[in-house]
A and B are shown apart, each in its own frame.
Chain A
């Protein structure tokens, strides 16, 4: 038993040593990206309209347009980019392991995350959690969720209030496709998830008329890019690129392209960015 324990300790220290080595190699992140000639971005590929697969199997979306604009600003080319699909539960780990340079994956800014990563400037304002259910549902208020099965995604910050504050029985999946399928199979009575994606879903063929967003968002979450801690030069470069993209109308254009409606936040940011660059 003691021998087994010793082996375990050795294995654990090996793993930790490995991670500390990658952390120690500290060239400036901006230089490294420029040297590589490619920006590696963590993006969602199952999250319409922010990042999703089109009929050709390519990742497109609001955040993909932003990422391309950032790559163009920093490296001079839209194609100097590698998109790595991430999900809510692995994106911060991917970033801190150094597998990606930046997260553009509907990452909400909050103080807990700020302890482990740095954020870029906000580029979107996301309606927090909303609830989608069948049109004839008896769910009329947040209190009505008590004791009901509610589908959602593993890794969202509002899963805890859903369960603890509202008493819902959360049924959490790793990805959106499983969540929507489970909901359609009546494995839960409602879906609690981000406003943008559920609003979009409620208007989709096969969903329209049958389901609706029954509880509106009660808070808004600023969405920002995620960066490894302690890279001020890279952070400044990405922020500058985001402002340039806003000024050039990339984000307002993307909102139109992907049917997201015009949001006050993005429009205002674009106007402010234009005023700053002029």
Chain B
């Protein structure tokens, strides 16, 4: 058996693959932004021990982190519209679900990996040396200023290795989009396999593409880590 990549010359397949890669990148990028926002806000709630919010965040994190991301995606896609989250389509007058498939995938990625990010960032904040915080306090910084100018910048640097794993996991999880009919890389790959039956070749190709995307993300994070390195601090 030999590998035949001749189908790659078909302009339609090239277009599909490019479109698929574009969707996957966009899903991942939006998911990462949402993940970071959720992670920082959630970690702040826990860090400041905000009344009520601390409990709410803890419960949500446990719920999201301990259920499969696919179940969460199906919940968002198939169940939310059932419990009334829908709007009226001005063109047809029908009630349509509030979230499109694309939005559901971004939300599910942001929520699931965001829940993990909350814990990662919390651990980063805890790792900031007490002496540094005490030093800031003695300089007259308020609690919020300490968080904004000392704990968060240092804490986030400390989370980079764990956060890299989280980002790579998010990129890979984005391939679930195919299950709710969002045309990402996996979706077009499935369609190509059905037409040319070169399953192995298509799988090898998208395997390589996912490796490239993940490697690119890791390199970017590496650059960010290098640029924000604190000399003499060991991170």
Contacts and interface: CB of A to CB of B under 8 A. Distances in A.
27 contacts: A15-B200, A16-B2, A88-B194, A89-B193, A93-B193, A93-B197, A112-B197, A113-B197, A116-B197, A151-B181, A154-B187, A154-B190, A154-B191, A171-B101, A172-B181, A174-B178, A178-B78, A178-B179, A178-B180, A182-B78, A182-B181, A186-B86, A186-B94, A186-B97, A187-B96, A187-B97, A189-B92
Contact of A23 (B1, B81, B194, B199): B1
A22 to B, nearest CB: 10
A185 interface: yes
Contacts of A160: 195
A86 to B, nearest CB: 13
Interface of A: 8, 12, 15-16, 19-20, 23, 88-89, 92-93, 112-113, 115-116, 151, 154-155, 159-160, 171-174, 178, 181-182, 185-187, 189
Given A16-B1, A19-B200, A174-B178, A186 B187 contact: no
Contacts of B179: 173-174, 178
Contacts of A181: 78
A156 B218 CA distance: 37
B1 A19 contact: yes
Nearest to B195: A112
B97 A185 contact: yes
Contacts, number: 71
Contacts of B89: 186
A12 B205 CA distance: 11
A186 B96 contact: yes
B78 A185 contact: yes
A264 to B, nearest CB: 30
Given A186-B97, A187-B97, A89 B194 contact: yes
A19 B181 CA distance: 31
B3 A12 contact: yes
Given A172-B187, A186-B94, 9 more contacts: A93-B197, A113-B197, A154-B178, A154-B194, A178-B180, A182-B181, A186-B97, A187-B97, A189-B92
